[in-house]
Chains A and B, each alone.
Chain A
Amino acid sequence: MYVAVKGGERAIDNAHAWLAEERRGDPSVAELTLPQIREQLKLAVNRVMAEGSLYDPDLAALAIKQARGDLIEAIFLIRAYRTTLPRLGASQPVETAAMAVDRRVSATFKDLPGGQVLGPTFDYTHRLLDFKLAAEGEAPLAPQVPARPEPVPHVTSLLDRDGLIEAAPRDDAPPPDLTREPLELPANRPLRLQAITRGDEGFILSLAYSTQRGYGRTHAFVGELRIGRVLVEMEIPELGFSIEIGEVELTECETVNQFKGSKTEPPQFTRGYGLTFGQTERKAIAMSLVDRALRWQELGEDFTGAPAQDEEFVLSHCDNIQATGFLEHIKLPHYVDFQSELELVRRLRAEAMQMQEAAE
C-alpha cells in the first residue's frame, strides 16, 4: 500500500547535495572526464550499453559518472533516457558475417578460413596486478602487420554445408518487441534473445554456468566467438532506399551442441546463439548457452526442472532494472503496511496469550 507522505524535503535536498559532493570525491584529485571513461573504462561502457539496450558510448560514459561507477544504476539511467527518445525506425538485420573483426576464435576448428584472431583479449594474461599501470607512462602501441582482406565466414556455415548442424534458415517475419508490448509467455526465440541480450550479465552467467554443471546440460562448444564492427543499415522512407546510419561494435557467440537426432531429424549438431552490444564476450557466451538450454521443447529434449530450461523463470528474472526496482523499493517508506502488520501481530499475540492463560 502506498500513501502520500509529506515532509523530509530538506533532508532529501541535503542528501542529494551530499551525494554530489561524494560523487566528486577529493577535489584535489582531477575530475574524471567523459572521454576518459569512454576510452579507458570501455568495457564498463559496453556493459551499460548492452544492458541499457542503447548504443551510445558518450551517454553510457555520462551515466557511469553520474552513478559513481554503479553499473546497474547507470543502466537504469540509460533505460530511463531511452524512453524519452522517439523511435525513428528499425534497422535491417545486421550482417554479422561481414563484420570487420577485431577478434575471432573457434574452439572447434583449428584451421578455418579467416584464421584465429585473438584481438585485444585478457585471455593468456597471468592475472597478476600490473603495478606499472599505477604510474603514468607513455601510451602503449600495438604491433601491426599488413592485413589481407579475406572473407571470415561463420564456422556454422561450414558445418551447415555438410548438413552436420541444424540450419538457421532466413526468415523475414517482423520480430516481437518487448519494449513495445509487455512480455507474454510462451515467448518465441527472437523475443527470448531480446530479453537475454539486455539481461543482467551476472544472472545470465550464473544460469549458463548452471547448465555446464549439469542443471540442463547441453554439451556446448564455442563454435565461434567474434567481436568487431558491423554497419547498421535502415530504409529511409522519404528516399525509398536504405542507407548506413552508423556502425556498432558487437560480440557474437555461436555454440555447437550435442544432439542425438529424433524421429524426424538425423543426428546433427544444434546451436545456441548470443549477440550483444560492444565487446561483452562473457555475456555473449553465457547468452548462447542459455538460449540453447531454453530450446529443449523445440528440440524434443526432456525438461529436467533446471532453472535455465524454465522460460518463465529466466525471462521474468533476467532484467536487472526490474529486479533492482522491486528489490530496492522495500527500503522506501512502508509505514502504513507495517503499521497494519504490527497491529495484526499484537492481536495474534494477545489472543495466543489469552488461550495459554485459559489452558493453565
Chain B
Amino acid sequence: MRGLLLKDARQILRAWYFWLIQVSLVLITYRSEFALSTACYLIACVSLAVLSEDEQSRWQSYCLTLPCTRKDYVSGKYLLQMLLFGILLVEMAVFWLFWGAWVGMDLMPMLLRAMTVPMLPTAICLPLTFRFGGKVASAWIFMTLVMPFSQFLPSDLLGQTAFALVALGLFALSWPLSVYCYKLRWKRGGAA
C-alpha cells in the first residue's frame, strides 16, 4: 500500500504539479465562491486522472503481480483523494489566515464547502471508473462534474455541516462499493 501511494505521489508531483499550481492560482486570483468551487472540482479530478493513466500504462495489471491486492489498489486511490482533500482544506485555512474572509465567507462555512463540493462527485465517479474504466466512465464523470453541487448547499452552518457529513458518508460508502466494482471488472474480464 505504501509503495502504491508513493508511486501516486510521484505521479502527481511529476505529471500533475501544474494542475495543483493552477488550483492555487485560481483561488488566489479570483478570491470568489466560484473560484472555490472550481478549485474543488479540479482537486476531485486528480485521482480520476491518475486512475486513467494507470489504466493506459497498464499499471493496473502490473501492480496486481506485486504483493498488492485489488482492495489495496482501490484503497490507495481513496487515501490519495483524502490526502488531496486535506491539502485543499489546509490551503484554504492558510489563505484565510492571510486574507480573512477572502471568498466572502467565514472559515467554517468555507471549509465545509471545500469538503462537500469535491467529495460528492468523487463518491459517484470513483466506483463508476473502477467498474467501467476511465474511457467508458468519462461521460458519466463529465456529467457529474458539471453538476453545480454548491448551488444545493444550505446557507446555515447547521445545514452545511449536515450536508458535509452526508458527503463524507457517501464518500465512505463508495469506498467498499469501488472495491466491489473493481473486483467485478476483473472477474468479467473488463480490465486490461
A binds B: no
